[in-house]
Structure 1
Amino acid sequence: MEKSKLSERWLRGPLPSIPALLQPIAHALLQAKDEVNSIMKDFPEELLWLQVAGLASPAFHLQHMKGVIDRLFTYAMESQLNYDQLTYLAEEGKPTTKLYTLSLLIKSFNDQIDTAIKELSNVDENTLTKHCEVGRKKLPSTAIGLYVHAAEHIMRHVGQLLVTVKISREMNTISL
């Protein structure tokens, strides 16, 4: 069996275009992408917005993970959120009039991971400790702090998504 099928992303070796200090972040984001695609494979569309046991819906997790990466990487690049990002944040978890299908949400998440990996490949390691301001309150952070938080926050939601999807699938099986 090929190496990529046997090991998690961090065990597959360094990514050639990613600076050394950012390798763990890139590995975590790519691992999240792998796991989300596996978790959501053949997930019933009708369960996408279902909130079970007081948990956020699978759709929320998919929207939120994409948004978190976008927002935290924006702050790490010393920018503030634009109108589209603020609108997206306000709509997370809401089945709005926009057509949020499973395939659209997965594609959007995957595209955001790919964008993040490209952005990481352009980061100068000497800028990782630069001061960054977060949000309207301009809370203090560093670029490396924002990148690390993006990775750990996404992995936390991957775990929550896994549990929610398992419960949703089980409840769907029982109700048939």
Structure 2
Amino acid sequence: MSEISINHEPEFWLSGPIPGISIFLQPTVHALLQSRRELAQYTMDFPEALLWEKTVGRASVGFHMQHLTGVLDRMLTYARSKPLTIEQFQYLKSEGSPNTKASITELVESFNTKVDEALEFCKTIPDNELTHERTVGRKKLPSTVLGLLFHAAEHSQRHVGQLLVTVSVLIQKL
């Protein structure tokens, strides 16, 4: 493995609206779908043996994969105006831990499942609820439904980008 294959399909933001999703949530949904596509693409032939390898002091590919799913899950919980569960706190604490024994395929599937959940959630939100206030974390920091969903999408894009750099550096060493 010396290169990452490139997908030549148009990015999701260039493929038109996603049916059943508010026009206001289209950018969020497009970014999540793009993250899902790129995560699968960038990890397709990535060696399992390097999943938890850190390079140049940066997080491992496994961490980014776990974190993508965890953040999306937490933002959906906050958007629903619910507190995090004990299981979510345990997942947060385990992000980046190679002790999870999850494979690349399992980590990709977990993120795909969470993206599907986000898409279904986005279909249920009336436009007039997008600006409803929500709080984040134990400190109850202020946000809105739209703010939380947007953050989930941009955060996913950011970590997929970081994952790509880590994958690229690690496969150059092979």
Question: What TM-score results when the alignment is normalised by the length of structure 1?
Answer: 0.92
Once the two structures are TM-superposed, the CA of residue 99 in structure 1 deviates from its matched residue by: 2.1
Q: Please tell me the residue identity of whatever aligns with 1:22.
A: L
Q: Which residue of 2 aligns with 1:121?
A: 123
- Aligned mates of 2:66, 2:20 — CA distance in 1: 27
Q: Which runs of 4+ in 1 moved over 6 A?
A: none
Q: Which residue of 2 aligns with 1:80?
A: 83
Q: Which residue of 2 aligns with 1:157?
A: 159
The alignment status of 1:38 with 2:41, answered yes or no, reads yes
Structure 2 residue aligned with 1:54, among 42, 54, 57? 57
- Aligned mates of 2:67, 2:9 — CA distance in 1: 29
- Aligned mates of 1:152, 1:103 — CA distance in 2: 23
Residues 114-166 of structure 1: CA distance to partner in whole angstroms, max 9, x if unpaired? 11111111111111111101111111111111111111111000110000000
Once the two structures are TM-superposed, the CA of residue 19 in structure 1 deviates from its matched residue by: 1.0
The alignment status of 1:69 with 2:102, answered yes or no, reads no
Question: What TM-score results when the alignment is normalised by the length of structure 2?
Answer: 0.93
Q: Which residue of 2 aligns with 1:139?
A: 141
Once the two structures are TM-superposed, the CA of residue 6 in structure 1 deviates from its matched residue by: 3.1
Q: Which residue of 2 aligns with 1:94?
A: 97
The sequence identity of aligned pairs, in percent, is: 47
- Aligned mates of 1:74, 1:133 — CA distance in 2: 10
Q: Which residue of 1 aligns with 2:132?
A: 130
